[in-house]
Structure 1
Amino acid sequence: MGAWVTRALRNFNVENRAERELSKMKPLSAPRHPSTKSLLQEQMSRHPEIEGEIARKDDKLLSLLRDVYVNSKDPVSLKVKDAGVLQESKEFRLPIGHHFEMMNIKSIPKGKISIVEALTLLNNHKLYPETWTAKKIAEEYQLELKDVNSLLKYFVTYEVKVFPAKDKKALQPK
């Protein structure tokens, strides 16, 4: 019911409204800046043929414009070949540790680490900072030293601490 009322109001007197819009004056060109008005008047007085040239339509140019036809197709096969070439040129390394046997990770790009490896190296550095230095981690995981320094500076692993209950009424952990 609501759509019927909306449609009736929208289509009411459509022809008259369209005719009224078409009979309105067309918009004029934007006004010239006052500083250039005198320069334009001076040029028009020197060269009166310019005004005729501005208003004249060039039939030759219009016919050339009608003949222009643009047909564009994306070469799909070239994009696939380029993507394959880029992927083959990357260097990969094998994952470090035995925890990847359950997952289907076969190789990791050089300069990157997995989440499990990141947690492992952060934990190793936290437990044994004198043996697991930033330089050793960078060599072991084939990372850049500045990235490893940033990783060790801004990321830490969580510690879970369980405090013994002093109270016998407190819940005992299982």
Structure 2
Amino acid sequence: MGAAVVRAIRNFNLENRAAREISKVKPSPAPRHPSTKSLLREQMSGQADIKGEIGRKDDKLLSLLRDVYVNSRDPVSSAQDKDAGTPQEPKEFRLPKGNHFDINIENIPKGKVSIVEALTLLNNHKLYPDKWTAEKIAKEYHLEQKDVNSVLKYFVTFEVKIFPPEGKKAIQSK
């Protein structure tokens, strides 16, 4: 019921509204500068044959255009070219450190660590910085020294601190 009312209102006087829109004056191009009007008239009147040339179809050019067939392919980059020519070097792997073996991780590429190992080495360095230096970590996990220094500088493990409410006293641990 409601749709019929809406449709009736939407279509009310539709033909008259459409005719009114169609009969409106179309926008005209922007006016040209007065100094160029005379130059344009002079050029158009002096070269009337150019106006005809612009509108005329050239059968010879159209036939040549029909004969053109373009087949394009993406160019092969030089990096892909090098990869195809030389076989990849075999990667060196190492076994995971610690007693927290994950069944999904069988071996780890040298120069990389698992998440568990990263957390372990960060925690070890935090607890025992004299024993677990950046040099020892780099040697132990087969990492580069600069990477280990960056990791130790910019990453820290989470530390949970529980503060007692202000109104209550904390229970002392024994």
TM-score, structure 2 length as denominator? Answer: 0.51
Which residue number in structure 2 is paired with residue 103 of structure 1? Answer: 103
Counterparts of 1:13-24 in structure 2, within 5 Å, are 16=15, 20=19
Per-residue CA shift, 1:4-26, capped at 9, x if unaligned? 34872597379848974995689
Task: Name the SS for the 2:103 alignment partner.
Answer: coil
8 Å contact kept, 2:96–2:108:
no
> Matched residues in 2 for 1:53 and 1:27: separation?
28
1:113-152 correspondence runs (5 A): 113-152=113-152
Q: How much does 1:118 deviate?
A: 1.0
Q: Distance in 2 between matches of 1:152 and 1:111?
A: 16
| Greater CA drift, 20-29 or 104-113 | 20-29
Counterpart residue identity of residue 116, structure 1? V
1:152 shift after superposition? 0.9
Flag the 1:24–1:160 CA change in 2: closer, same or farther, 3 A: same
> Across the two proteins, how many residue pairs are aligned to each other?
155
Aligned residues of 1:90 and 1:109 also touching (Cα < 8 A)? no
Task: Specify the code of the residue in structure 1 equivalent to 2:159.
Answer: E
Cα offset for 1:68? 8.8
**Quick one: distance in 1 between partners of 2:112 and 2:89?**
16
Root-mean-square deviation (Å): 5.3
Query: 1:156 corresponds to which letter in structure 2?
Result: V
Superposition deviation, residue 70 in structure 1: 9.3
State the one-letter code of the partner of 1:159: E
* One-letter amino acid of the structure 1 residue matched with residue 115 of structure 2: I
Q: What is the match of residue 51 of structure 2?
A: 51
Q: TM-score, normalised by structure 1?
A: 0.51
Q: 2:77 matched to which residue of 1?
A: none
Closer/same/farther in 2, CA of residues 63 and 97 from structure 1, 3 Å limit: same
Deviations 1:27-52 (A, max 9, x none): 78965975995697265455433323
Unaligned runs of 5+ in 2: 73-87
Q: Does 1:8 align with 2:7?
A: yes
Query: For residue 146 of structure 2, what is the amino acid of its counterpart?
Result: K
Q: 1:163 to 1:9 in 2, by over 3 A?
A: closer
Alpha carbons of 1:20 and 1:116: their partners in 2 closer, same or farther (altered >3 Å)? Answer: farther
Identity of aligned residues (%): 51
C-alpha separation in 2, matches of 1:48 and 1:27:
28
| CA 99–39 in structure 1, closer or farther in 2 if over 3 Å, else same | farther
User: Greater CA radius of gyration, 1 or 2?
Assistant: 2
2: CA distance between counterparts of 1:36 and 1:145? 74
- Per-residue deviation, 1:71: 10
